[in-house]
Chains A and B, each alone.
Chain A
Amino acid sequence: MNELIVALAIGVLTASGTWLLLRPRTFQVVIGLSLLSYAVNLFILAMGRLKVDAAPIVAAGVVPDPAAFTDPLPQALVLTAIVISFAMTSLLLVVLLAARGLTGTDHVDGKMDEDQADEDQADEDQADKNQADKNQADKNQADAEVP
């Protein structure tokens, strides 16, 4: 049961991460990389064999029984991997912001593609429409207030 849950978690995280990684906008790529790194961290833990309710610490003075404690090495590896991927993701975020500022778009190639341009145009149209509606509403309200 434990195995199934962990395997499903890794699978779902990897699948979502991979899909997001292949998206054209940088923010989605960053989230995809984060999900993938969660999946990889779980994977490393799983590679040390899953064991519930066991400490990775050997008691002093007794001959250790390998069956009684969990493998400490993957935990050390995961710790390192978490720190490194966290640092790298924050670095990537800085570059992403710089790219956004310099190129004016958040496309990974620094170019605005057709779909995105259309989308942005649609967003703007929607915003204009909302504004117009709001103006109309304000006007109506103002008219209503006039005695």
Chain B
Amino acid sequence: MAWADHLPIVPVVLPLATGALVLLIDERRRALKGLISLVSLSVLLLAALALIRSVDAPEAYVYRLGDWPAPFGIVLVADRLSAMMVLLAAILGMAALLFSLARWHRAGPRFHVLLQFLLMGLNGAFLTGDLFNLFVFFELFLAASYGLALHASGPARVRASLHYIIVNLTASLLFLIGASLLYAVAGTLNMADLALRAAHTAPADRVLFEIGAAILAIVFLVKAGMWPLCFWLPSTYAAAPPPVAAMFAILSKVGVYAVLRVWLLLFGAGSGASAGFGAAVLVYGGLATLTFGVIGVLASQHLTHVAGFSLLVSAGTLLAAIGAGQAAVTGAALYYLVVSTLAVSALYMLIELVERSRGPGADVLAVTAEAFGDVDAEPEPAEEIGLAIPGAMALLGLSFGACALLLAGLPPLSGFVAKFALLSALLQADSVAVSAWIMLVLLTLSGLAATIAMGRSGVRIFWASHQANVPRVRLIEMAPVALLLALCIALTLQAGPAMRYLQDAANTLHTPQQYIQEVLGAR
């Protein structure tokens, strides 16, 4: 075997080894820990890029652990979708790490270790082709995320994390019930094998099979944040430290990924009598989430909650788009997934930078000031006319504007491309479903809501700010935000190739026969 054949295992083993190594280093030598983390993440980024290059081919990349053939042994499967998610996780991990190096990694012990283990669990969950292994990797990244959510401690974080942990532990138990029900009916846990047997389930067992899948779906939808299972998400993410919250932006996409993978494999077009099982739940649940997210964005009195509810908006959009069950829509949804994850992640970090210069309660004022009448009636000092905006403020303002454009889906940035592609794919079908029209309205409204919410905070922060103190921002904190936004701009400029790749990924998801053959075919 050439060394390149081991590529799919690298995103799992590398963070594991790095995490273990960093754990051994004394807690006071933070610079060394940061350096090792940085080197490891750079290698991970390169590996993810190499993986993307090698999987952009008709067949998936199957890695057999211990060289056992597929239905009996555990396999890692790298196809276009999982390679893209691994790259996304690596990019966000890099951004979070850079941001934390300025000061957040000093706020509590073992930040770097937990970050590496989080990445390992995420990558494993994206790459695995086995349902029980998916559970194990879910638990791994959840355990790391519990630690990270509690990083820097404090009553607010502990209280929010308590809910987060209890909700996720309960969901994990449901995961086990669902997976074992599927095993009881089909006698296998390998996803490709399950898909093969799903089509040939005896009619008497079909109900049990669907119940198992539905219980699994609850777990994935709790992670993805579908209404009404999402009450914990905005408050937990708002309480988490900013670099961690930026990383959590992809955590909620794991649920969406799992729905995409498992639902399209088990209940895709070619799976016999239960094809399309639960599509209505995905579509209308997604639309309900979208509505809830829009209301939440408008009602939020704090910017971190705006970011949290924006995550719900994107989750709702994605779930409704996946539920439509058309390859073209799924391709556009994948593009939207990438863009919205990058944008929300950048926003979480940006909020922390902006908030530094503001007093407590400034956000509440941004929402309610007008309701109390003109509280800022005192005349402005004359010499402020024509005052130059300080460089840091200008940079922050530009980034904030870019985030707002991305979240609202306004041209010229990639948020617009994503929403446009999604809607045009939805409305191009021969008979446009009612849900597609509802989605058109809700997506437009969500853009409006994001514009209003971001606009009123942005005006208060950057234009009508009475405090002259400019936040002290270090380059290493600004760089990750700029990196993520630059990626979004690059995705706008290179929308063609990106769309081509993602459309191919969606097509292979919707025609899983090749995936099944690749995984099960003994080599």
Contact = CB atoms under 8 A, between A and B. Distances in A.
Interface of A: 21, 26, 29, 33, 36-37, 40, 43-44, 47-49, 73-74, 77, 80-81, 84-85, 87-89, 91-92, 95-96, 98-99, 102-103, 108-110
Q: Is the interface of B mostly helix, strand, loop or mixed?
A: helix
Contact of B132 (A49, A77, A108): A77
A26 B162 contact: yes
Contact of A44 (B143, B159, B162, B176): B176
A132 to B, nearest CB: 36
Interface of B: 132, 136, 139, 143, 146, 150, 153-155, 158-159, 161-163, 165-166, 169-170, 172-173, 176-177, 179-181, 183-184, 189
Given A102-B158, A108-B163, A40 B177 contact: yes
Contact of B165 (A74, A87, A91): A91
A81 B139 CA distance: 10
Given A74-B180, A88-B143, A99-B158, 4 more contacts: A33-B169, A37-B173, A99-B155, A99-B159
A81 B179 CA distance: 12
B173 A48 contact: no
B130 to A, nearest CB: 11
A47 B173 contact: no
A40 B176 contact: yes
A108 B176 CA distance: 25
A29 to B, nearest CB: 6
A44 B150 contact: no
A106 B77 CA distance: 44
A101 to B, nearest CB: 9
A92 B180 contact: no
Given A33-B169, A99-B159, A103-B159, A48 B183 contact: yes
Most B CB contacts (10 A, CB to CB) among A43, A74, A109 go to: A43
Contacts of B189: 73
B110 to A, nearest CB: 14
A143 B474 CA distance: 76
B176 A81 contact: yes
A58 to B, nearest CB: 13
Q: Is the interface of A mostly helix, strand, loop or mixed?
A: helix
A81 B146 CA distance: 18
B153 A92 contact: no
A44 B155 contact: no
A108 B172 contact: no
Nearest to B132: A77
A64 to B, nearest CB: 14
A95 B170 contact: no
Nearest to B159: A110
B165 A95 contact: yes
A91 B155 contact: no
A13 B384 CA distance: 70
A92 B169 CA distance: 9
Contacts of A80: 132, 136
A84 B142 CA distance: 11
Contacts of A43: 176-177, 180
A124 to B, nearest CB: 24
Contacts of A95: 146, 150, 158, 161-162, 165
A48 B184 CA distance: 6
Contacts of B150: 95, 98
B155 A92 contact: no
Contact of B158 (A37, A40, A98): A98
B183 A74 contact: yes
Contact of A91 (B146, B163, B173): B146
Contacts of A84: 136, 139, 172
A99 B166 CA distance: 13
Nearest to B183: A47
Given A48-B183, A77-B180, A88 B166 contact: no
A110 B180 contact: no
